[in-house]
Amino acid sequence: MDPVTLRTERLVLSVPEPSDAEDVVAYANDPDVIAYTPVPVPYGHAEARQWITEVVRTGWAADTRYDFGIRRADDLRLLGTIGLFGFVDGAAEIGYAMHPDGRGHGFVTEAAAAVLEWAFAPEPDGLGLVRVQWRAIATNTPSAAIARRLGLRYEGRLRSGVFHRGQRHDQLIAAALRDDDRSTPTVWPTS
């Protein structure tokens, strides 16, 4: 598939470019991103260029993953990324990461809502998916809060469900189906 650009009221979601490498390095080295995502440590310009050229570009070309840079419409600086991957039988997984400069403004929620709409829209305007799931280490409360705001339904806690940075962690899983009413946040357990 040719790369797609999505727009919201405040954001432009477009494919990360080689010129974004510095911004990718900046957010990939944030302690929270390292704590909860599988980015290599250390993460430098070589890793950013490899991710942009080999993972992102190849993913779009092979229809195996679709990554977007999250950019404010007023300056287009890449603040983070959001993507769909793990496609199987009409389902995919969503993941996101944000630089500290972009946190606390609702950008990831806004970006993820647009990506979900595109994912569920019928072809050729969208992907025509039936299910999009989210998974995260259970202690990643900001990511879980975004998933709740998006109206994803909590599906469970996988005890020791993920191995990350040399340790096993519980993992939460939630999902949205194409026909779900996502207009109001769903109730999740408190622990």
pLDDT at 191: 67
Residue 2 is classified by DSSP as -
- Report pTM: 0.96
Residue spans per domain, the chain:
6-177
Rounded Cα–Cα distance for residues 46 and 68 (Å): 19
Q: What are the structure tokens assigned to 100, written together?
A: 């500290």
Give 78-129 as a DSSP string.
EEEEEEEEEEETTEEEEEEEE-GGGTTTTHHHHHHHHHHHHHHSPTTTS---
pLDDT at 128: 98
CATH number of 6-177: 3.40.630.30
pLDDT in tens, the chain (191 residues): 999 999 999 999 999 999 999 999 999 999 999 999 999 999 999 999 999 999 999 999 999 999 999 999 999 999 999 999 999 999 999 999 999 999 999 999 999 999 999 999 999 999 999 999 999 999 999 999 999 999 999 999 999 999 999 999 999 999 999 999 999 878 899 86
